[in-house]
Amino acid sequence: MNPKKSTPKLTLDQESVAAWVFLTPALFLMAIFIVWPIIYLIYLSFTQGSFTRSGVEFVGFTNYLRLIVSPDFWQVIGNTIYFTIATVIPSLVIPLALAVMLDQTLMFRGFLRTAYFIPSITSLVAVGLGWRWLFQTDGPVNGFLSQIGFDPIPWLSSTVWAMPVLILLSIWKQLGFNLVVFLAGLQTIPINRYEAAELDGAGPWQKFWYVTLPGLQPTLVFATVTTVIFTLRSFEPVYVITGGGPLNSTNLLVYYIYEQAFSQFDFGYAAAAATLLLAIALVLVYFQLQIFGEDQASK
């Protein structure tokens, strides 16, 4: 037997062992703080009761059936879909446009990038309190509307206007993060692609559509997934600004789960709603990755 042939196998085994040694602590932490809570959440969704001496009892799919027949739950689902769509699209389009403009100018780029990013690192509770002050009935926004001849709008007590206030806050909060992500993605597009497009007579719009967007596709995948997750888990703005009102018009799924668990102490029902939220998030992320992945593979 040639001893040289056994060396690659020995090296591969050593590398595998070293990889598992380094991965084990991270996998252990993931199992404790991610996998186990998800398993326990699914288990709770099939139970009823509370964490007292009476304990919990297994009730099968009762909690899921309660969700299906609950009008409040379907209203919350509708609110969440409306909030997510109205937030995600502007949260991607506006930062992308700003990133393209900032990438083409050298003046104040660093200052503007920092200014746009500040909302992303600001506490949502503090921002929510400030937003509630701005949009209260006698707040600065209505004061400005009165000065230009418009009647004051009951922003936070109106079933029509309360949700747009939350959407505007969510867009403002996410804008800076996506702007920085898109700026980083623009730096990875080779300049010779734009030069080749100019030689072919492409204008600004053609260069954006045929060079910038294809080059940003991996960045768009990341920004879309993170924005959807950020939007679906929105809780603080609802808690601080509207409390789910008026008439349940701003009650989002995460806040609904919180209410059922810690106001009604219906942990099994809340766990069922949380499990559905997890399933919705996984399905949305899966389809986003599939769609963008197929587009990327075809190119």
* CATH number assigned to the domain comprising residue 255: 1.10.3720.10
pLDDT above 70: residue 298: no
**Structural domains in the chain (count):** 1
pLDDT above 60: residue 220: yes
pLDDT above 60: residue 222: yes
Residue at token pair 């506490």: 123
Does residue 30 lie within any of the structural domains? no
> Quick one: tokens of 289?
């990755």
Of the pLDDT bands very low, low, confident and very high (cuts 50, 70, 90), residue 122 is: confident
From 9-18, 60-69, 224-233, the region with the lowest mean pLDDT: 9-18
Query: What percent helix, strand, coil does the chain show, rounded to 5?
Result: 75, 0, 20
Does residue 204 lie within any of the structural domains? yes
* Residue span of the structural domain in which 239 resides: 71-294
Rg, Å, the chain Cα set: 25
| Model pLDDT, residue 10 | 45
Does residue 271 lie within any of the structural domains? yes
> Quick one: tokens of 71?
């009008």
Q: Are 265 and 282 in contact (CB under 8 A)?
A: no
* Mean of the per-residue pLDDT values of the chain: 86
Does residue 285 lie within any of the structural domains? yes
> Quick one: tokens of 17?
């062992």
Higher pLDDT, 235 or 17: 235
Does residue 198 lie within any of the structural domains? yes
Does residue 212 lie within any of the structural domains? yes
Does residue 50 lie within any of the structural domains? no
What's the whole-model pTM score? 0.85
